[in-house]
């Protein structure tokens, strides 16, 4: 069993929190979406204090930071748009109109495109970050929420909550090239991909499905906590952290064996989870559950 007890756990608790983005080492700030307050908290990761609060749209959910740390993209579910925050000034410099009920957001490794799941319109918007305009919309399953992009930028994995499946989008053609079924009634929610791009971990209510990205088949199912939501993987790909909303804890999965090696109690209703590049700290967002 890996020793996970020596890792520091850092909690972010303020109102109704869902989205959380932890930047690269060069950008020492974390951005947290406060869904119930319509704003984003900016946390100095050196002191774990809030240094700014940025008003965005209504019910912000997903958060992603561009690879160069210059901009933060925030999906606002009740405003049906995406706010773009300039990290130099912590102000909104653009608002991109989206589909209905924007939830998750992920940015390609080259920073050129942002993929946004629109749970109310069953599609994914593709935003050109240079112009902040929507250049494509890709139809996926019913109620897409979680989204993640492979490290090579070739594929996008989208968790469709009401379809019980995961859509795989080819970024070159911006079309769905595979659909991976999940257990019936499982409600796929969060997605994270290992640094080598070999596996995708998808939270599905009480379990975590492990998808082989080479074959797009489920190769393992890991029993987690109740109502698993957010998921994140350490930079070395060794461990997966899963926020279990109704269990009030975080499961730690060993990717070598796909077994739970630790369960960490946290606050009420944990949803989002992110890991700093050094793997020394994890941040978990908490808050009341929301409907998809």
Helix, coil or strand: residue 117: strand
- What's the confidence (pLDDT) of residue 231? 94
Query: The pTM is what?
Result: 0.88
Name the one residue in this structure whose structure tokens are 């941040």. 283
Q: Which of 174, 205, 177, 209 is nearest to 193 (CA)?
A: 209
- What's the confidence (pLDDT) of residue 258? 97
pLDDT in tens, the chain (292 residues): 344 433 333 333 222 345 666 655 556 889 999 988 999 999 998 888 999 999 999 999 999 999 999 999 999 999 999 999 999 999 999 999 877 899 999 999 999 999 999 999 999 999 999 999 999 999 999 999 999 999 999 999 999 999 999 999 999 999 999 999 987 667 899 999 999 999 999 999 888 999 999 999 999 999 877 788 889 999 999 999 999 888 889 999 999 999 999 999 988 888 888 887 764 444 444 444 444 4
DSSP summary character for residue 153: S
Helix, coil or strand: residue 151: coil
Domains, the chain, with CATH or none: 8-286 (2.130.10.10)
Q: What's the token pair of residue 135? A: 């250049």
Q: What's the token pair of residue 43? A: 């946390």
| CB 119 within 8 Å of CB 292 | yes
């Amino acid at each position: 069993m890996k020793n996970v007890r020596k890792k520091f756990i850092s909690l972010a608790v303020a109102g109704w929190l869902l989205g959380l983005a932890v930047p690269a080492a060069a950008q020492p700030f974390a951005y947290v979406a406060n869904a119930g307050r319509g704003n984003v908290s900016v946390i100095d990761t050196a002191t774990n204090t809030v240094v700014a609060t940025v008003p965005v749209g209504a019910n912000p959910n997903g958060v992603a930071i561009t690879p160069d740390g210059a901009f933060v993209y925030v999906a606002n579910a009740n405003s049906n748009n995406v706010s773009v925050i300039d990290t130099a000034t912590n102000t909104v410099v653009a608002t991109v109109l989206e589909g209905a009920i924007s939830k998750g957001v992920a940015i390609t490794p080259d920073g050129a495109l942002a993929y946004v799941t629109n749970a109310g319109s069953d599609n994914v918007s593709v935003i050109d970050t240079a112009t902040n305009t929507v250049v494509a919309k890709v139809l996926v399953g019913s109620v897409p929420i979680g989204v993640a992009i492979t490290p090579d930028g070739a594929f996008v994995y989208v968790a469709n909550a009401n379809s019980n499946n995961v859509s795989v989008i080819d970024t070159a053609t911006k079309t769905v090239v595979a659909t991976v079924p999940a257990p019936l009634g499982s409600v796929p929610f969060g997605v994270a991909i290992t640094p080598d791009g070999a596996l995708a971990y998808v939270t599905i209510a009480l379990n975590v499905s492990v998808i082989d990205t080479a074959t797009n088949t489920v190769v393992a199912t890991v029993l987690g906590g109740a109502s698993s939501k957010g998921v994140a993987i350490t930079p070395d790909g060794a461990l997966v952290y899963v926020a279990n909303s109704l269990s009030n804890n975080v499961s730690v999965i060993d990717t070598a064996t796909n077994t739970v090696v630790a369960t960490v109690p946290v606050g009420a209703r944990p949803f989002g989870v992110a890991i700093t590049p050094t793997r020394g700290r994890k941040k978990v967002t908490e808050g009341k559950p929301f409907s998809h």
